[in-house]
Amino acid sequence: MSSPLLLHAESIAKSFSGVPALVDGSLALRAGTVHALCGGNGAGKSTLLNVLMGILKRDAGTIRMEGREVQFDDPHDALNAGVAIISQELEPVPDMSVAENIYLGREPRRRFGLIDHRAMREQAAELLESLGLNLAPDAKLGSLSIADMQMVEIARAISRDARVIIMDEPTSAIGERETELLFTAIERLKARGTGIIYVSHRMNELYRIADDYTIMRDGAYIESGAMADIDRRRLITTVLGKELDEEFAKFNAPGDNTLLEVDGYSRGSAFRDVSLHLKSGEILGIFGLMGSGRSEFLDALFGASPADQGEARLDGNNYRPCRPADAMRAGFAYVTEDRKGSGLVMDASIKRNVTLASIPEVARSGLISEPSENRATLPFVDKLQIKASSVDMPVKQMSGGNQQKVVLAKWLQTDPRILMLDEPTRGVDVGAKREIYAFMSEFARDDRAIIMTSSEIPEVLGMSDRVIVFRKGRVSGELSGDELTQENLVRLSS
Amino acid sequence: AADPVRIGAATYGLQGEFMQLWSNALEDHPAVKSGDVEVTVFDGRYDALVQSNQFDSMITRQYDAILFVPIDADACVGPVIQATAAGIPVVGSNTRCNSDQLASFVGSDDVLAGQMVAEEVIDKIGGNGKVVVIEGPIGQSAQVDRAEGIDSVLAEHPGIEVLERRTANWSRAEALSLMENWLTSHQDEIDGVIAQNDEMAIGAIQAIQASGRSLDDIAVAGVDGITDALKAVQQGQMATILQDAAAQAQGALDVALARLGKADALPLSETWTTYPDLAWNDGQDDTYNIPWTVVTNDNVESLLAQRQQ
Amino acid sequence: MPQPTSLISSDPAPKDNAHRSLATFMSDYGIVVAFIVLCAVLSVVSPYFLGVNNLLNVLRQVSINGVLAIGMTFVILTRGIDLSVGSVMAFAAMVAASFAGTSAGYPLILPILLGLGAGLALGCVNGVMVARFAIPPFVMTLGMLSMARGLTYIYSDGMPISSLSSSFLWLGQGMVAGIPVPVLLFAMVFALAWFTLRYTAFGRYVYAVGGNPAASRLSGIDVRRITFAVYAISGILCGLAGLMIAARTSAALPQAGVAYELDAIAAVVIGGTSLAGGKGRIVGTLFGVLIIGVINNGLDLLGVSSFYQQLVKGAIIVVAVMLDRSRLSNA
Amino acid sequence: MPQPTSLISSDPAPKDNAHRSLATFMSDYGIVVAFIVLCAVLSVVSPYFLGVNNLLNVLRQVSINGVLAIGMTFVILTRGIDLSVGSVMAFAAMVAASFAGTSAGYPLILPILLGLGAGLALGCVNGVMVARFAIPPFVMTLGMLSMARGLTYIYSDGMPISSLSSSFLWLGQGMVAGIPVPVLLFAMVFALAWFTLRYTAFGRYVYAVGGNPAASRLSGIDVRRITFAVYAISGILCGLAGLMIAARTSAALPQAGVAYELDAIAAVVIGGTSLAGGKGRIVGTLFGVLIIGVINNGLDLLGVSSFYQQLVKGAIIVVAVMLDRSRLSNA
Ligand SMILES: Nc1ncnc2c1ncn2[C@@H]1O[C@H](COP(=O)(O)OP(=O)(O)OP(=O)(O)O)[C@@H](O)[C@H]1O
Ligand SMILES: Nc1ncnc2c1ncn2[C@@H]1O[C@H](COP(=O)(O)OP(=O)(O)OP(=O)(O)O)[C@@H](O)[C@H]1O
Ligand SMILES: [Mg+2]
Ligand SMILES: [Mg+2]
């Protein structure tokens, strides 16, 4: 470690209207390495990274690049100094194309400084190709699934030729295959001497690609070292500040009676001829590659965008949801994969979001009282370990993982029978994940059941009683018991 | 029968009662009622550009003649030139237009109205006292001209002090609030209210009444002679200067028909009998100034009766 | 049992609670501070400003815009806008007045119901077109601005309706316990709106629909119905404002309410409600309304000339909002 | 807030490609279709409508609103709004006219530069306050609406300025190769704006800032500068419109341009640009401007009575947009 550090942040502090989010953030990044920044939800990781990028102004602390102190007042300065970020919250420009999003702010130019749309398209196509992504450069971002949006953001950051790339949970919205593409790209970047700060709550990933780690807790630096020197158990313990028992707490047992039957569900080109059934007490996994139509299928089942063919039966009765309210009346709840777009009212407080789907229950003769709202919200705050200064805090001020918990709480509050979870643990830390898993097991009892999709294979394997695999919008197989292996999932889905 | 004569009437805007009376009077003209003449009234929306655009359309449609009540005395020049060049005579009405190409003008002099309204108030308070002036929208020809008239009278009366001078944009509601506030800041100082139109005068009256003051102590006068003002005169609350919308509109139509030579037995309207001093001269004069009438207790009943028809 | 990492029960910022609560207050009520500053300045420069009568005048003068602005707040909270308030008000005033003549002799309730009904009807048309046919609110209500004005002219034949019965005029000019009736009406509407937005399910839905329509729909909220309802509310409040203005000016004028939409929207936006929807408060609107009213009143009291009045009024509005928002620094 | 549409738009699954490209065309150019329908109807009911002279009239009539609407498009694309266009235009007209009198004898370039400069200056004030001091655009430009009108009164002493030199009048009344000069000016501004939005980095940034300010900032775009620039552009175009209107009406009137902001915004919104920013096209604005112009012209040609005109005009605007948007299912 003789050469100066590529990036060195020391004692960074930041508070929001008096509430400290970061008290002592420190991080030392070496060139050509991947540095894992670890911490629970709300530990201050994103805050630190946003300070490094010049998105937030720090209250105290110093940042040095290659030994020289730097001051980024705006992301513009950071970009000029060779720092790029894949931020945790997706920030697409929805009405611009993939190519335009990738090259936003540095469009290829023709003579007279005019934008060369053709070159931009070609370069984007080339870039996407080199990353192994199958995305049309002309597609509008707003029409993509959030996984695809995430890939576009990854492509954008990577193509910047930055010396430091900050990746704040780049994989939370994408599948295993795309994660592999990202890792391949990261290897290439490392070889070029780029330093990467990497945040993820998926431990497997950290052990695969990270060289160093830094652990933060409650806004403060705890320790750092080489990834090779810390085992998984100690990493988790240090991150959470407590011991954690086994990862998948699974103690539900599927019953015999069939709750839900779906027969030949189709909608446009999104999914075709999907038939499945769900038993009481069951956790049914749906697995597939990105874009295989899982989310679209769940949308249809929830009446958000109804199926145009096929039928469904709930307890043997016809179930034909035309809009979410129908599905909710039938006992469905649906945690979507896009918490910012379709899950949360970002400007509203935690408790308003938690009660959003169950206002009639919280209200008494049409009136809502603060106490009844607090009564509805507080148990979830404890149970899901939602970290926030108060239940009146707007959710947009919360860390990503905590926001995810709020979405979950909202739907649990409706006391559903069939809980549909699309990527339920997106951005959730290991501790809270465990709580969610335990909760799922506890939930799937009596005449209740869960349908879950996830791109995290261990989660699918660990939590599902049975898995339906989607491929290109069709069911390509069903796995249960001993057949539930990673190999089978991969085989059936690709 | 032959095709009716098609007349376009370009008004500055139909929002106020006065222009409404003006256009209703057109519809009541004997030649219109008999079907010999067809009039189309255009709402200029208080915008010189809109009026100019409407002239374009009237020229395209080849109206036989245009009656023109411009919003601005200068901005009306271009449209008049265009229409005249297209062979369409333009007869001005109500508001003057600084164009020498106007076929004729049948209207009333706003400067004179300004003088009269100011004199009404000043006479009533006996030549000495404090007044407030409520004006129309700044820069509109009617405001500019009436202000000129008011100023000329004020200049002759050194005993009159102008406490306040503000626009209420011809609006009753605005004048009402304005007067409420002035009655607060000037308490009992105000002796008279000179309003450039009746709507604003009525707003002022309502504020005075609401404040518990007596209209015997404050002289109010407005211009136009709208129906509510006539009623107020009847009750001794104000004075108004009647601008005869019917005479202006119907007289202008008579003149236009005369210039077109399309009708015999002119003039058809009552204008010329109502104002015997106004010489018809076969409709060939450049200017017909319809006299203003001060509305008093003596003539208000008959005016109101006319209005009810 | 895992130890709760939740911070909610424990005190968040022991360090400088005082600082924080001031900051919170300022960010919540900055507009109140701006209002107080404005009033303080006015009471120094004009000895009349603080008089009881003058303050009642201000309240009476703002009450019509106040009622419109409250309806507008509902609409804007759902990301909408209602440009038609002035015209709809004029139409309702005309309908009501046509049944409130001294000679007609109908009971007072008839013009009231018909006025409110006329406003409600046009508001419902706005609501249906926006909620059901997805016409952008700006376009729909701009169309209604024009259509309602046309209806007013057609209904009234372009002439004002005056000679209203004194019981009707009481709505605009009467007093109850020393307080002008329009002020009481405004106060009632305000209280009802405040209560609705704060304590009722409907109020929650209004915020939610404006904050995130997609999430609201997925949460089982009938987004269309809420959207429809806010325009209906705005419509019925236009009806009430129509009764008030006809009664205050003793006549229904076909040209009444031209450009009132700007003042109503201004009050809402000055009050801190975001045109992007989902964020804002009715108390803010109240102070927005009051700020506009106090500026107008103050300029009249001070006798600022017509020429300078507009300049000063515009500048004060900008400065007041600047005072309010200056603390929001970081993006 | 950008919303990935996966859950809201129930995309009707492209069954066949032909159907789909028609759908795409309709969704991109629905307003063109609405315009063509409108023109077809008008040319059937009025034999004068399709005359060359009348079409030139329409173009001349829309050119001032057109120039304002183009500036407005830039502003709205960044999620802003400019309510001050009418007043700023009036101020610029007054400044220019005061140097364009027949007697003054200044070269034509002087009033032109001063008029544009006056518009630009006020636009820059809007820009600074919105971009630098984060005053909500609605409030800032509403303040400017009032302030610029006040400045116009003060500058002109409340009197119109007429007797303008014939070289100046040429800007509003002249012809070049059979085409009215205002139409040429509008065409030039349109072409420039179209080109700018499409081919320059600045144009892309305008979209980006409106589409997602946070993303734009993260991409190193100077969001404040872009925001400032759009208000400056709107300002200078108000200046141009001021020259055009003074030259066309042969006078600068202190009351000119009242409520023009509504027509300009309407053209932009009818043209499909979203008030939420980031989405829309200048071609849409062109057709929005044309639709409004054709409605006004058509109603005048048909001699629709002014009472019914407002009703019909409002209804046509709504129907045109309904035609355009009927395919887009709900939100
Ligand atoms: N704009 C804000 N206003 C107030 N508090 C904020 C704001 N942004 C973040 N915080 C608070 O700062 C703390 C740290 O948040 P941060 O987003 O940095 O966490 P994180 O480590 O990235 O968590 P996660 O793993 O869930 O993404 C949280 O308690 C959060 O509530
Ligand atoms: N709004 C939309 N408009 C058009 N196509 C869409 C839309 N949303 C999704 N799709 C497409 O529908 C297909 C199925 O997407 P879906 O989101 O259901 O996949 P998924 O299996 O859940 O994968 P992901 O991990 O991306 O969520 C994809 O090809 C996707 O691009
Ligand atoms: Mg984070
Ligand atoms: Mg999915």
SS3 for chain C is CCCCCCCCCCCCCCCCHHHHHHHHHHHHHHHHHHHHHHHHHHHHHCCCCCCHHHHHHHHHHHHHHHHHHHHHHHHHHCCCCCCCHHHHHHHHHHHHHCCCECCCCCCCHHHHHHHHHHHHHHHHHHHHHHHCCCCCHHHHHHHHHHHHHHHHHHHHCCCCECCECHHHHHHHHCEECCEEHHHHHHHHHHHHHHHHHHHEHHHHHHHHHHHCHHHHHHCCCCHHHHHHHHHHHHHHHHHHHHHHHHHHCCCECCCCCCCHHHHHHHHHHHCCCCCCCCCCCHHHHHHHHHHHHHHHHHHHHHCCCHHHHHHHHHHHHHHHHHHHHCCCCCC
Q: Which of A314, A312, A265, A321 is nearest to A293 (CA)?
A: A265
> Which residues touch A397 (CB under 8 Å, ≥6 apart)?
A16
| Rounded (5°) CA angle C182-C188-C191 | 140
CB contact under 8 A, A142 and D5: yes
Q: A295-337: per-residue pLDDT in tens?
A: 999 999 999 999 999 999 999 999 999 999 999 999 999 999 9
Give yes or no for a contact between C119 and C63, defined as CB atoms under 8 angstroms apart: no
Q: For chain A, what are the domain ranges?
A: 5-240, 258-493
β-pairing verdict for A258-267 and A271-279: antiparallel
Tokens for D158? Answer: 């409340």
Q: Is residue C119 pLDDT above 70, yes or no? A: yes
Separation of CA A265 from chain center = 27
Distances (CA, A) of D205 to A107, D81, D192, D208, D209: 10, 17, 16, 5, 6
Q: What is the pLDDT of residue A494?
A: 84
- Ligand 2 pocket: which of A90, A181, A265, A296 to mutate (most atoms within 8 A of CB): A296
CB contact under 8 A, C318 and D145: no
Burial of D24 (0-12, 13-18, 19+ CB in 10 A): exposed
CATH fold of A5-240, please? Rossmann fold (3.40.50)
For A59, list phi and psi in degrees, rounded to 5: -90, -30
Lowest-confidence segment of A195-209, C97-111, C225-239 by average pLDDT:
C97-111
| Model confidence band, residue B197 (pLDDT cutoffs 50, 70, 90) | very high
Q: What is the pLDDT of residue A369?
A: 81
- C-alpha span between A405 and A386 (Å, rounded): 7
CB nearest C311 (choices: D134, D150, D276): D150
* Mean pLDDT for all residues in chain A: 92
Q: A214-244: per-residue pLDDT in tens?
A: 999 999 999 999 999 999 999 999 999 888 7
- Residues C168-197, mean pLDDT to the nearest whole number: 96
- C-alpha span between B147 and B120 (Å, rounded): 15
Neighbouring chains to D with at least 3 Cβ pairs closer than 8 Å: A, B, C
Distances (CA, A) of B227 to C91, C163, C256: 20, 10, 17
Query: With pLDDT > 90 as the criterion, what percentage of chain A qualifies?
Result: 74
Q: What is the pLDDT of residue A388?
A: 85
Of all protein residues, the one whose alpha carbon is nearest to atom 2 of ligand 1 is A397
C314 vs D: CB within 8 A = yes
| Model confidence band, residue A400 (pLDDT cutoffs 50, 70, 90) | confident
| Model confidence band, residue C23 (pLDDT cutoffs 50, 70, 90) | low
Cis peptide upstream of residue B267 (ω within 30 degrees of 0): yes
Place of tokens 């009802």: C192
Q: Is residue A213 pLDDT above 50, yes or no? A: yes
Tokens for B294? Answer: 């001060």
Contacts 24+ apart (CB under 8 A), A244-250: A244/A430, A244/A431, A244/A434, A245/A434, A247/A430, A247/A433, A247/A434, A247/A437, A247/A462, A248/A437, A248/A462, A248/A463, A249/A434, A249/A437, A249/A438, A249/A441, A250/A437, A250/A441, A250/A462, A250/A463
Q: What is the pLDDT of residue A1?
A: 45
B234 vs C: CB within 8 A = no
D256 vs B: CB within 8 A = yes
3-class DSSP state of D23: helix
Q: Which amino acid is at B300?
A: V
Domains A5-240 and A258-493 equal at CATH topology level = yes
Å between D111 CA and nearest CA of chain B: 19
Please list every residue in chain C whose beta carbon sits closer than 8 Å to the beta carbon of residue B178: 300
Q: In what order do the strands lie in the sheet with A68-69?
A: A68-69, A60-65, A7-16, A19-29, A220-226, A212-217, A34-38, A195-199, A164-168, A83-86
- Residues A156-165, mean pLDDT to the nearest whole number: 93
Write out the E strands in A30-144: 34-38, 60-65, 68-69, 83-86
Please list every residue in chain A whose beta carbon sits closer than 8 Å to the beta carbon of residue C330: 56-57
> Which residues touch D228 (CB under 8 Å, ≥6 apart)?
D124, D127, D128, D130, D131, D132
Is A210 touching ligand 2 by the criterion CB < 6 Å? no
Q: For chain C, what are the domain ranges?
A: 49-330
Q: Is residue A176 pLDDT above 90, yes or no? A: no
- C-alpha span between C236 and C69 (Å, rounded): 12
**Ligand 4 mean position, distance from CA A338 (Å):** 9
* Mean pLDDT for all residues in chain C: 89
* Mean pLDDT for all residues in chain B: 92
Is A295 touching ligand 2 by the criterion CB < 6 Å? yes
DSSP state of A304: S
| Model confidence band, residue C36 (pLDDT cutoffs 50, 70, 90) | very high
Query: Does D touch B (3+ CB pairs < 8 Å)?
Result: yes
Query: Does A touch B (3+ CB pairs < 8 Å)?
Result: no
* DSSP code string of A248-287: --------SSEEEEEEEEEETTTEEEEEEEEETT-EEEEE
Q: Which residue of D has its CA nearest to A54?
A: D218
Q: What is the pLDDT of residue A249?
A: 74
| Model confidence band, residue B307 (pLDDT cutoffs 50, 70, 90) | confident
Distances (CA, A) of C109 to B98, C105, C114, C116: 53, 11, 8, 11
CATH class of the domain at A258-493 = alpha beta
Give yes or no for a contact between D88 and D235, defined as CB atoms under 8 angstroms apart: yes
Complex ipTM, two decimals? 0.92
Q: B40-89: per-residue pLDDT in tens?
A: 999 999 999 999 999 999 999 999 999 999 999 999 999 999 999 999 99
Model confidence, pTM: 0.92
Write out the E strands in A331-414: 332-335
**Ligand 3 mean position, distance from CA A298 (Å):** 27
Separation of CA D254 from chain center = 21
Higher per-residue pLDDT: C29 or C178: C178
CATH 2.40.30 is the classification of domain D49-330: no
* Residues on D contacting A at a C-beta cutoff of 8 Å: 1-8, 10-15, 199-201, 203-205, 207-208, 211-212, 214-222, 278-279
User: Tens-of-pLDDT digits for all 331 residues of chain D?
Assistant: 333 333 333 333 434 455 556 666 666 678 888 899 999 999 999 988 999 989 999 999 999 999 999 999 999 999 999 999 999 999 999 999 999 988 878 899 999 999 999 999 999 999 999 999 999 999 999 999 999 999 999 999 999 998 899 999 999 999 999 999 999 999 999 999 999 999 999 999 999 999 999 999 999 999 999 999 999 999 999 999 999 999 999 999 999 999 999 999 999 999 999 998 999 999 999 999 999 999 999 999 998 888 899 999 999 999 988 887 654 433 3
Give yes or no for a contact between C16 and A18, defined as CB atoms under 8 angstroms apart: yes
Place of tokens 């100066």: A4
Q: B119-169: per-residue pLDDT in tens?
A: 999 999 999 999 999 999 999 899 999 999 999 999 999 999 999 999 999
Q: Which of B78, B109, B84 is nearest to B94 (CA)?
A: B109
Q: What is the pLDDT of residue A14?
A: 95
- Residues C76-82, mean pLDDT to the nearest whole number: 96
Q: What is the pLDDT of residue D329?
A: 37
User: Which value, to the nearest 10 degrees, does the dihedral of the CA atoms of residues D107, D113, D116, D120 take?
Assistant: -160
Q: Is residue C4 pLDDT above 70, yes or no? A: no
Q: What is the pLDDT of residue C323?
A: 80
- C-alpha span between C235 and C242 (Å, rounded): 10
CB contact under 8 A, D218 and A91: yes
Q: What is the pLDDT of residue B39?
A: 93
Q: What is the pLDDT of residue A291?
A: 86
Which run of H or E residues covers position B123? Answer: helix B110-124
Place of tokens 């359309």: B57
- C-alpha span between A100 and A97 (Å, rounded): 5
3-class DSSP state of A192: coil
Separation of CA A70 from chain center = 31
CB contact under 8 A, B139 and D51: no
Q: Is residue C24 pLDDT above 80, yes or no? A: no
Mutation site, A356, A387, A414, A422, interface C, largest C CB count within 10 A? A356
Q: What is the pLDDT of residue D13?
A: 40
Q: Is residue A136 pLDDT above 90, yes or no? A: yes
β-pairing verdict for A309-314 and A317-319: antiparallel
B98 vs C: CB within 8 A = no
Give yes or no for a contact between A81 and A161, defined as CB atoms under 8 angstroms apart: no
Is A47 touching ligand 1 by the criterion CB < 6 Å? yes
Q: B280-290: per-residue pLDDT in tens?
A: 888 889 999 99
For B82, list phi and psi in degrees, rounded to 5: -60, -45
Tokens for C234? Answer: 């705005």
Locate the ligand 2 atom nearest the alpha carbon of residue A292 and give its number: 21
Q: A53-106: per-residue pLDDT in tens?
A: 999 999 999 999 999 999 999 999 999 999 999 999 888 999 999 999 999 999
Please list every residue in chain D whose beta carbon sits closer than 8 Å to the beta carbon of residue C331: 213-214, 217, 223
Place of tokens 């600074």: D128
- C-alpha span between B162 and B268 (Å, rounded): 45
Give yes or no for a contact between C97 and C70, defined as CB atoms under 8 angstroms apart: no
Q: What is the pLDDT of residue C9?
A: 40
Q: Is residue C328 pLDDT above 70, yes or no? A: no
Is A331 touching ligand 2 by the criterion CB < 6 Å? no
